[in-house]
Amino acid sequence: MPSKRSLETFYEPNLRLTQAHGLLGYNAGYAEVRGRDSFDQHQKNLVWRLLGDVHIGPESTVLDVGCGVGGPSGWIFDRYRPGRLIGIEYCSTSVRAAEQRWSGTPERPIFLQGDAQHLPLPDESVDVIFNLESALHYADKRRFISECMRILKPGGTLCLGDITTQYKRLFVALGILNIVSSQFSTHARLWSFEDYMSAFKALGLRVLRHEEVARQAADSLFEGLTEVSRVGWNNARGYRGRYFYLRFMEKLLRHEWLAYDLFAVSKR
């Protein structure tokens, strides 16, 4: 994994934008129909799209890996009321923000600082793992998937949503932006759809569902960024660079230089 300091520098604009505009998360979102929902609702739509019909009940243990500021963890907890929901996040600043949002609430998710490639949970202890828009930063995705295999109960489900590409060499070249720690240092390690399918097969996971949602993510980003620009930047401490970075991401998704894959896979 990249250093915590580097990732916190990258995600600081997202954190400040959520605080300035009252957002609870910062995923790309899913806009099935343009102009129908707010950006906040688009983000929730992506969470429900990724979970699909996976079973989560009062007996379930759910793990949100790369939980960010805790928005999806909270939405999942409120909708399904699982017996236990744990959010793990690499960036300490995001963990603190998630804790603050839920402080004073007796029934709530638990938030921990941790590494997705070394998950701090016992073997076969989790029913559902949720991982959205976080794995692009993992240096060793296969190790992460192996860790998911280790902690999932037999029959448990991994719901994974990640930005992927068929143009990996191009995006490796953009790694020059990582030399200096900045809000543009993504430390992204992008896989293709085929890379994921190969890893799932090699590790003995059964693919239950797959969907590619680049167009819906691009539409959601377009509408979300339009909302942000309409409200203004006074409370976001001038992080205009993140706005243009996300506009660039929207164009890459729309023109299929990037893909957005949602997977649900099961441990046999």
Q: What is this structure's pTM?
A: 0.90
Can you list the alpha helix ranges (DSSP code H) found in 52-184? 71-80, 92-102, 141-151, 168-173
User: What's the Cα-to-Cα distance from 33 to each of 13, 220, 230, rounded to whole Å?
Assistant: 27, 9, 20
Instruction: For Cα atoms 57, 61, 63, give the angle at the middle one, nearest 5 degrees.
Output: 120
Domains detected in the chain: 4-267 (3.40.50.150)
Please give the Cα distance from 231 to 101 (Å, whole number).
22
Angle formed by the axes of helices 240-254 and 4-21, to 10°? 100
Q: What are phi and psi of 157, to 5 degrees?
A: -125, 135
CA–CA gap between residue 2 and residue 24 (Å, rounded): 25
> Would the pLDDT of 4 be above 70?
no
Residues 123-181 have pLDDT tens digits of 999 999 999 999 998 989 999 999 999 999 999 999 999 999 999 887 775 554 444 44
pLDDT score, position 145: 98
Which tens digit of pLDDT belongs to each residue from 50-62? 999 999 999 999 9
- Provide mean pLDDT across the span 239-249: 78
**Which of these ranges, 178-187, 242-251, 256-265, has the smallest mean pLDDT?**
178-187
**Maximum average pLDDT range among 19-23, 64-68, 93-97, 174-178:** 64-68
pLDDT at 238 (0 to 100): 53
Determine the average pLDDT of the residues in 229-251.
73
pLDDT tens digits along 162-171: 999 999 887 7
